Amino acid sequence: MATFKDIQLLRTTYLRGPSVWTYRPVLEVWLDLGELEDYPSNKIEGFTERLTTWLPGLIEHHCGVGHRGGFLERLTEGTWCGHVLEHTIIELLNMAGMPAEFGQTRSVSQHGVYRMVFRCPEESVAHVALRQGHGLIMAAINNQPFDVPAAVQAIKAEIENRYLGPSTASIVNAAATRRIPFVRLNDGNLVQLGYGAAQRRIWSTETDKTSAIGFGIAEDKDLSKQLLKACGVPVPDWELVKSADHAWEEADYMGLPVTVKPYNSNKGQGVGVNLTTEAEVRAAYDEARKLTRYVMVERHIPGHVHRLLVVGDKVVAASRGEYPEGRNNPRAKVVTVDCTDEVHPDVAYMAALSAKVVGLDIAGVDLVCQDIRQPLHTQGGAILEVNGGPGLLMHLKPSVGVSRPVGQAIVEHLFPATDGDTEGQAARIPVVGIAGTRHNAFIARLVGWLLQLSGKRTGVASSEGTFLEGRLTQKGDNTNWHAAHRLLVNRLAEAAVIQTTARSILEEGLAYDRCQVGVVTDLDGFEGLADHDVLEADQMTRVLRTQIDVVLSHGAGVLNADDAPAADLARLCDGQVLFYTQDPKHPLVVTHREGGGRAVVLNGSDVVLVHGTSERVLGTLEVLRPVNGFEPDTPALLAAIATAWALDITPDLIAAGIKTFDYQSL
């Protein structure tokens, strides 16, 4: 059989946010099929059989057919190899444990060239999956051997290297369920939930509410026991020791059995329990001493060791650890048994009190008792430790029992739910996105100024620079993902106004998942986008609709009624729509008003706010003029006014703000 040249990967672009393809991150790949353009899948001898043998899971791919086995039907009937590569990559990701769930392949104007995308939340994982998928499909096409398990393992290795740990992931997933946006702040488990001043930060199960003092106290087992004992919490007798002789002396004085552990033990490291002989005590001391300067001897409390997870002021999960018979190593747990529903209220109270005494908002409280269903004082139970940054895996995946929604509890702790909050409002600041080509920097800066006057510290990213609280922080064209991202991670920003361009959407995606107000002034500019195969004006709708697609349901789209393609985007907006126009009798606006809609209309020289049948004159163009005699573009001024009104800024403040706006000052 013929040997085909490799499919060429012309370029790859990782789109980090909402784009022309989807709301979530994707890798876009431009492919040149070369001679394979003339060889769909059904014309390559043995190709389908080899591919489905290596990837039997392809039968689950519905493709556009809409049912199980749909993609295999396309494969048998004949589909192009770019499409096959898309499904190959998706299946490899599925096999590696990271379902991709989305992919598309579309031809471009150049013969044999396609744009293929697939969803992947981590760029490096996407590139590994692309490389392995490309190798696999070419091997299948040319009847060459290919190591599928090795390919899957390579993707798994990158997933393990880049993905969040299970505790952090459970919190992030719970946040996503509530539509709270998240931003990874490093390559590890430091994550920002929400935007700007509304954000909260987590680092695994530590939060920005977690006290550094409390965490330090929790690590010092001697100090934490002193505080717990002083507050009436039952703790076992203990003593700090400085030598193996001293350890045995205290153990003998307390009475065997005892526990020996580092005074700042963590995750059971260096801990010996239920020690009954001098030799065991001395050996345990030597092990503990390897990890710390000070060692603690503690009276052994008979019973089962339990871990209670405290979030805020309540216990949200409990797990019982069962150890191998005769083992003295608490890290050698065989099973974790969920016992959340069995915890006695008095036990839960003591656990929550212990976390509060130490000073932790999230804590893993270790205690020993015979029966978690009974109060501690009735059975000689005791609190052993209070731990900061507790792992959640034992509660998410107990060996026995049901998984507990601990990530959800932590998100609720950080962002208490309110009735009607279906879009993560508690974690959001007002974000205004502005797209188009007509005086958008002026619009962005004026809206930022009006938001600032309304009492919100506002950041603006525009083609003229980035501003925070009216101060220029970075000069130059900042209509890009990185500039917008900098505003959204800034804890001072109580509102953000972000100017974007069609090119930025095509090459980076939006920096935010949703916005309160989306503005589109026009759909001009296709002439400069030929490198993205945007060759006609009509194609701009697919690009700039992205700005309107992300408007929140309680937000608004602001559209230029005098630009028909821009006005037509109203049908795509999940929120309200505000039009602006220089024609008071514009048919679209008249119809919009009849339906109770809002618009900003120029009637003669009067700028009028209309809402259904009501009207309010904001002022004349002569009066509504920024300082220093600057004469703004009239449609741009109307757009800014409509945007401010959509943000519920009062008309009086809008009028006063325009008159005090110094656009020419940088």
Specify the pLDDT at position 81: 98
Residues near 67 by Cβ (< 8 Å), separated by ≥ 6?
A: none
Indicate the pTM of the whole model: 0.92
Long-range contacts of 128-132 (CB under 8 A, 24+ apart): 128/154, 128/155, 128/158, 129/89, 129/92, 129/93, 129/96, 129/155, 130/9, 130/12, 130/27, 130/29, 130/89, 132/89, 132/92
Euclidean distance between CA atoms 453 and 299, whole angstroms: 63
Task: Report the pLDDT value the prediction gives residue 590, as an integer from 0 to 100.
Answer: 98
Burial call 550-573: b when 16+ CB within 10 Å, e when fewer? bbbeebbbbbbbbbebbbebbebb
- Which pLDDT belongs to residue 100? 87
pLDDT digits (tens, 9 = 90+) for 531-559: 999 999 999 999 999 999 999 999 999 99
3-state secondary structure (DSSP) of residue 444: helix
Q: How do residues 9-57 score in pLDDT, each as one tens digit?
A: 999 999 999 999 999 999 999 999 999 999 999 999 999 999 999 999 9
When the candidates are 3.30.470.20, 3.40.50.261, 3.30.460.20, 3.40.50.11540, the CATH number that belongs to 178-235+305-410 is 3.30.470.20
Which residues in the chain show pLDDT less than 70? 1, 266-267, 323-334, 666
Q: What is the DSSP letter of 131?
A: H
Instruction: Return the domain boundaries, the chain.
Output: 8-162, 178-235+305-410, 237-300, 428-579+634-649
Cβ atoms 302, 381 nearer than 8 A:
no
The CATH fold of domain 237-300: Dna Ligase; domain 1 (3.30.1490)
pLDDT of residue 328: 47
> Residue 312's pLDDT is what?
96
Please tell me what DSSP assigns to residue 400. B
pLDDT of 633: 95
State the amino acid at position 285 in one-letter form: Y
Q: Who contacts 553 (Cβ-Cβ below 8 Å, separation ≥6)? A: 422, 423, 574, 575
> Is domain 428-579+634-649 annotated with CATH 3.40.1190.10?
yes
